[in-house]
Chain A
Amino acid sequence: MKKTQLYILAFVVSAIGLSWAWYKWQVLQFPLSPREEVEVWSIEARLEFQGNGGPNKVRLQLPSRGSGEVPGFAVIDERLISRGYSEQMTKPKGAEGRQVEWVIRRASGRQVLYYRANVVRDTAEVVESGEPKLREPPELTEAQQAAIDTIFEGVKERSADIATFTREFVREFIGEDPSDEARSLLDGIVTSEDRAQFMARALAIRGIPARVLHGLSLGESKAFQTLQPFLQVHNGTTWVAINIDTAEEGLPENFFLWTRSPRDLLVVESDRRPKIEFSVQRNLADAVAIATRRTEVRSENLVKYSLMGLPVEMQSVYRILLTVPIGAFVMLILRNLIGIKTFGTFMPVLIALAFRETKLLSGVILFTLMVSLGLLARFYLERLRLLLVPRLTSVLILVILLMSLVSVIAHQLDIPVGLSIALFPMVIMTMTIERMSIAWDERGPGTAIKEGVGSMIVACIAYLAMTYPPLEHLVFVFPEILLVLLGITLLLGRYSGYRLMELFRFRALAREREAAMAKGAVVPPGGTGGNP
């Protein structure tokens, strides 16, 4: 009964840990391994126009920053560069998207403004905002009216629903040889921007809500790009995007949606024909930092109430602290499953922590050296019949003196050993010396050395596990993994089988039974226990 409860608890704890880690890995895209890099695109919009010497006002439509509003991507930060202008970000009422307004009292000559944004991939669920609305139908001549009716009739024949209808409609205007009707409709329409706007309005004649999106294709670095228009129609339930150049459905893979606002992209009061250019720079950046930024964009509290929200110095402390459970777990395995004898319960983990500051090899050498010297000193003090506490104090003083001596000598000999000793290992060393000397007195040198070597082995293995970079990274970025460790530990808490060392210790009994069985002596289970 209690065991079932334990299994359930262990399972629940591990499941929580695993699923939270999975969420962070898959959805928030925190990397599983250290030093992983992700693509970051820096997009720069360069605005150029002529000032007329008087007050000026510039308005630019910007990408949304809300979670999921830019399908497939997230803007992690942005910057405006505009000397002399005052700027204001606004979210226009009743309209889609976001815009910035630059204002200046006096501006003349060539003016250049910049907007820069850093963009990363994001898998947040796409929010297709915007109520379907019919556009104003285009003004057409009688001939054009007849032409568009002919086209609509033909298209209707070949289509099943709104999406296919739109696709077929777009197809009429592309290709090598458009029909006469299409050519008459496109009279005076040159840019793809105008073509997209025309199509969106033309679809209103048939009662289809349509709009035009603008975006960029993010791939390799590329300068001097322009925004690419996309047609989007509402089929009654969702918005469907159609490429106006190929009539293909859906947005291309690397399409970064700049704006879906019906307003003009750029409006400058003083200049009717302002120039706008986009350049894309592709960089690689630390995946953890990017994932943190991306999460912050999504929900500030997710980061604020996580380890990433701590000051950097504290983070580095936790980076070490979070590996302690790994050491403790290694220790648990070695003690309860293997059966290695150590000093104290967590002493080896503390020694392993001390090794962090001295590195493994020099740590082991230093530790062995210091513990042996300390033991010698202690045995001498023992002969002087000092009381326990004064004796401990003397050992501590001696250890510190010895350590400083080792550091000085090592420095003079140009060996980097011992220079990295901090406060922490000192205390551990003194404690180890005391424990060891007690064991030496009490249970003989054999046991003391056995436990000392055992502690050292456990400390080395724990150190290797605790400093293994992928593991260190994993527990720091996904601390919830420790819940899985807790689950396993709970299960191991009920392990009542043999320890490996016990098999060795009791092997004579097993051999005896083996021999008895070989002789054919029928030994009932229970042996001499008397069970028939």
Chain B
Amino acid sequence: MMNPFRIAQRLREIGLSGINQRNADYVLRYNPRKFYPRVDDKVLTKQLAIEHGLPVPELYAVVREEHEIEELHAKIKDRESFVAKPAHGSGGDGILVITGRRGAKYRRSNGHLMDQEDFEHHLSNTLSGLFSLGGQPDAVLVEYCVQFDPVFDHVSYKGVPDVRVIVFRGYPVMAMIRLPTRLSDGKANLHQGAIGVGIDIPTGLTRRGVWGNEPVKEHPDTEHSIIGLQIPRWEELLHIAARASEMSGLGYVGVDLVLDKNLGPLILELNARPGLSIQIANGNGLLHRLKKVEEIAVPATDPAERVAFSRENFPTV
């Protein structure tokens, strides 16, 4: 066991950022409070993205009132699969993924069947604010269910893997892909047991994985290697992330994207306080990269230029 001071010193050497530093030096300094609704309200995020011509999953319906829940069944009767999520949810909480139907019942992504009553109860809970920050009344978004790219078939367990890119002043600085596991119940949340895999920004290749606090090389459920996978349409993905941060007005933002089989990268959501686990997944701290971006006096207006800079400077070994 190393002593705490030594740990702190080593972590400082690799430029690891703690929560306090992330909040004080980046979130508080670069993220104006007034732009928070743009990322906290997913309905608003979607609208903004569409205005900016950025790809997002198609919106099927928005439920705001209790009585609209019943009407929803009719509205989406033609959709085989869809996702229902709270507009103000955080960390993937309260997201319901429906992949099919069986009679009047819905089949969830984990294979369980859900009857209409259960489904309505879940939506009603969401509307009451069970999943929103501070328990505020919320809305439900019903949207296109991503048909994720087969590249990840072998390395995810019943769920949608997503790519998280940290974008600072418009420059993508670090990225990882989150792979759901049996433990995470199909959710792509590291706290709940998903695997985080660091991505080398210049090449779009996965480099190293972390599960909990342990480094892993294979997916624990499928036994397939998670190292050396090529993320499809990587350049395009970085572009979207860089532009999404521009649209949000936030200087330090986490952009969550999914890769659709047919549609390519789609923006799922943005996060004004992206977590720190991405550093473990990349085996490296954020600070040296962030400093490098801070040294740029005036960020380039062309996203392509910013992406080029990032691909040149931020490799993950």
Interface residues of A (CB under 8 A from B): 336, 339, 385, 387-389, 438, 441-444, 447, 494-500, 502-503, 505-514, 525-531
Verify B20–A530 contact, CB threshold 8 A: no
Tell me which of B7, B121, B131, B292 contacts A510 (CB under 8 A): B7
Chain A residues near B10: list those with CB within 8 A. 509-510, 513-514
A-B pairs with CB below 8 Å: how many? 122
B280: interface (CB < 8 Å)? yes
B315: interface (CB < 8 Å)? yes
B125: interface (CB < 8 Å)? yes
Verify A530–B315 contact, CB threshold 8 A: yes
Verify B117–A497 contact, CB threshold 8 A: no
Instruction: Quote the shortest CB–CB distance from A250 to chain B (angstroms).
Output: 59
B25: interface (CB < 8 Å)? yes
B129: interface (CB < 8 Å)? yes
One of B73-81, B254-262, B283-291, B297-305 at the interface: B283-291
Verify B15–A526 contact, CB threshold 8 A: yes
Interface 1/0 per residue, B12-27 and A, CB below 8 Å = 0111101111011100
B11: interface (CB < 8 Å)? yes
Bound complex: CA A500 to CA B11 (Å): 12
Verify A507–B288 contact, CB threshold 8 A: no
Bound complex: CA A387 to CA B94 (Å): 15
| CB contact list, B1-40 vs A, under 8 A | 2, 4, 6-8, 10-11, 13-16, 18-21, 23-25
Q: List 6 A-B contacts (CB under 8 A).
A: A387-B125, A499-B19, A509-B284, A526-B288, A527-B13, A529-B15
Verify A529–B314 contact, CB threshold 8 A: yes
Chain A residues near B51: list those with CB within 8 A. none
Chain B residues near A339: list those with CB within 8 A. 19
B279: interface (CB < 8 Å)? yes
Q: Is the interface of A mostly helix, strand, loop or mixed?
A: helix
Chain A residues near B45: list those with CB within 8 A. none
Chain B residues near A525: list those with CB within 8 A. 13, 15, 288
Verify A528–B16 contact, CB threshold 8 A: no
B99: interface (CB < 8 Å)? no
Verify A531–B192 contact, CB threshold 8 A: no
B271: interface (CB < 8 Å)? no
Instruction: Quote the shortest CB–CB distance from B269 to chain A (angstroms).
Output: 17
Verify B20–A509 contact, CB threshold 8 A: no
Verify A442–B94 contact, CB threshold 8 A: yes
Bound complex: CA A438 to CA B94 (Å): 11
Q: Is the interface of B mostly helix, strand, loop or mixed?
A: helix
Q: Given A388-B130, A531-B288, do A496 and B21 touch, yes or no (CB 8 Å)?
A: yes
B313: interface (CB < 8 Å)? yes
Instruction: Quote the shortest CB–CB distance from B26 to chain A (angstroms).
Output: 10
Q: Which of B7, B25, B121, B292 has the most CB of A within 10 A?
A: B7
Closest 9 CB pairs of A and B: A529-B288, A388-B128, A510-B10, A496-B21, A526-B288, A496-B24, A498-B18, A385-B121, A510-B7
Interface 1/0 per residue, B122-133 and A, CB below 8 Å = 001100111100
Q: Which of A388, A447, A505 has the most CB of B within 10 A?
A: A388
Chain B residues near A500: list those with CB within 8 A. 4
Closest residue to B90 on the A side, CB-wise? A442
| CB contact list, B40-58 vs A, under 8 A | none
Further contacts, 4 of them, CB under 8 A, given A498-B8, A502-B19, A525-B288: A385-B117, A387-B125, A505-B280, A510-B11
Chain B residues near A506: list those with CB within 8 A. 7, 11, 16, 279-280
Verify A389–B128 contact, CB threshold 8 A: yes
Verify B20–A442 contact, CB threshold 8 A: no
Bound complex: CA A293 to CA B4 (Å): 52
B263: interface (CB < 8 Å)? no
Bound complex: CA A41 to CA B118 (Å): 80
| CB contact list, B266-283 vs A, under 8 A | 276, 279-280, 283
Chain B residues near A527: list those with CB within 8 A. 13-15, 284-285, 288
Verify A496–B20 contact, CB threshold 8 A: yes
Verify A510–B6 contact, CB threshold 8 A: yes
B213: interface (CB < 8 Å)? yes
Verify B280–A509 contact, CB threshold 8 A: yes
Q: Which of B2, B18, B128 has the most CB of A within 10 A?
A: B18
Q: Given A503-B4, A528-B284, A530-B314, do A508 and B18 touch, yes or no (CB 8 Å)?
A: no
Closest residue to A386 on the B side, CB-wise? B121
| CB contact list, B69-98 vs A, under 8 A | 91, 93-94
Chain B residues near A508: list those with CB within 8 A. 213-215, 280
Instruction: Quote the shortest CB–CB distance from A90 to chain B (angstroms).
Output: 67
Instruction: Quote the shortest CB–CB distance from A525 to chain B (angstroms).
Output: 6
Chain B residues near A385: list those with CB within 8 A. 117-118, 121
Q: Given A496-B21, A498-B11, A498-B18, do A529 and B292 touch, yes or no (CB 8 Å)?
A: yes
Tell me which of A388, A441, A447, A526 contacts B129 (CB under 8 A): A388
B233: interface (CB < 8 Å)? no
Chain B residues near A499: list those with CB within 8 A. 18-20
Chain B residues near A510: list those with CB within 8 A. 2, 6-7, 10-11, 14
Chain A residues near B23: list those with CB within 8 A. 496
Tell me which of A444, A498, A513, A526 contacts B20 (CB under 8 A): A498
Bound complex: CA A499 to CA B14 (Å): 16
Closest residue to A494 on the B side, CB-wise? B24
Instruction: Quote the shortest CB–CB distance from B314 to chain A (angstroms).
Output: 7
Instruction: Quote the shortest CB–CB distance from A203 to chain B (angstroms).
Output: 74
Chain B residues near A496: list those with CB within 8 A. 18, 20-21, 23-25
Tell me which of B18, B118, B283 contacts A502 (CB under 8 A): B18
B156: interface (CB < 8 Å)? no
B317: interface (CB < 8 Å)? yes
Instruction: Quote the shortest CB–CB distance from B133 to chain A (angstroms).
Output: 11
Verify A509–B11 contact, CB threshold 8 A: yes
Chain B residues near A530: list those with CB within 8 A. 292, 313-315
Instruction: Quote the shortest CB–CB distance from B310 to chain A (angstroms).
Output: 11
Bound complex: CA A334 to CA B163 (Å): 33
Bound complex: CA A531 to CA B124 (Å): 52
Bound complex: CA A497 to CA B292 (Å): 20
Chain A residues near B285: list those with CB within 8 A. 509, 527, 529
Bound complex: CA A526 to CA B252 (Å): 20
Bound complex: CA A530 to CA B288 (Å): 9
Tell me which of A494, A509, A531 contacts B16 (CB under 8 A): A509
